[in-house]
Amino acid sequence: MDGSAPVIEVDAVVTRFGAQTVHDGVTFSVGRGTLVGLIGGSGTGKSVLLREIIGLHRPTGGHVRLLGTDIWSAPANQLDAVRRRFGMMFQDGALFSSLTVAQNVAVPMHEHTRLSRATIEALVALRLMQAGLAPDVGAKMPSELSGGMRKRAAIARAIALEPEVLFLDEPTSGLDPITARGFDRLVRELVDDLGLTVLLVTHDLDTLLGVVDRLIVLARGRVLADGTVAQVMAVDDDWIRDYFSVRRIAGHGS
């Protein structure tokens, strides 16, 4: 268990859709136990990059290593082993609508462990509470949940197997500010308590300013800036200035 090896390595990734180049040599790496935010304007391929890291979309060129495994050249069984070690929360939760919340959280446990039913039930209750949900939510169907609860349920499923890495796609989009801040705290707690590495795609400035350890900015197909929020804000670039100036105006207004 060496704590120094990077958990996520993105190396010169190139992505093209037809004639349109989305990524033109994106490179960065993320170490264990950090909470990293990935930002960029619309159409800069943040979500696509996320899908490339977790093995859902093949990049046109370059390498992605997750937990030391090259995602796009590893054999299937090795890839399955890696899949058990990371969790992904999709933008709208992607909960299975035919299962209750508790059954949703239990799916990876039934699939990948040989634990007894009673233990899995207790573990599901623990996961729901870690995600900030009351245990009786487990009996509900996903369609009965509010947006914020659906996202929490999705987190509970994503952390079901004690992943080392957690990917979040727009975790706070569509949430009211109070719920969103609660969600930020939750993610921060997971990083601190479980030692998770988190990579999140977001547009939420409060998330970035509040809980993120490090910020990666994608623009024009490349990594435009990479560092703490203060470091990124100091970068001399129009897009970054515009991005954060919205915040400054809002701050002065109140």
Partner 1 sequence: MSNPTWFEIEAPDGRTSLKLIGAWRLQRLAEIEAALLGLVLPPVAQVDGNTLAEIDSASALVLLRALHRAQGPAGSLNWVGFSAVNARIIERVQVHLYTAPSAPATRRETLLAHLGRQASLLAGLLVGHLNFLGATMAAIGELLRSPGRLRQRELTVQIEQAGLAAIPVVALVTMLIGVVIAYLLGLQAEKYGANIFVVDGVGIGATREFAPIIVAVIVAGRSGAAFTAQLGSMRLTEETDAIRTLGLSPMQVLVLPRVLALMISLPLLVFVGDVMSMVGAMAIAGPMLDIAPPAFLARLREALDARHVFVGLVKAPVFALVIAVIGARMGMTVGRDTRALGAATTSTVVQSIVAVILLDAVFAVFLQALDL
Is residue 82 near partner 1 by the rule CB under 8 A? no
- Binding-site size for partner 1 (CB under 8 A) equals 29
Is residue 162 near partner 1 by the rule CB under 8 A? yes
Is residue 138 near partner 1 by the rule CB under 8 A? yes
CB of 243 to partner 1, least distance (A): 30
Q: Which one of 58-66, 110-118, 222-230, 243-251 is the stretch in contact with partner 1 (CB under 8 A)?
A: 110-118
Is residue 223 near partner 1 by the rule CB under 8 A? no
Scanning the structure block, which residue is given the tokens 């009351």?
134
d(CA 111, CA 3) in angstroms, rounded, equals 29
Q: Which one of 16-24, 54-62, 111-119, 237-245 is the stretch in contact with partner 1 (CB under 8 A)?
A: 111-119
Using alpha carbons, select from 145, 166, 175 the residue that is nearest to residue 50: 166
Question: Which residue of 130, 205, 210, 235 would you call a contact of partner 1, by CB under 8 A?
Answer: 130
Is residue 136 near partner 1 by the rule CB under 8 A? yes
Is residue 117 near partner 1 by the rule CB under 8 A? no
Whichever of 50 and 124 has its CB closer to partner 1, that residue is: 124
Q: Which one of 41-49, 65-73, 114-122, 241-249 is the stretch in contact with partner 1 (CB under 8 A)?
A: 114-122
Q: Which residues bind partner 1 (CB under 8 A)?
A: 1, 84, 97-98, 102, 113-116, 119, 121-123, 125-126, 129-130, 135-136, 138-139, 141-143, 161-162, 193-195
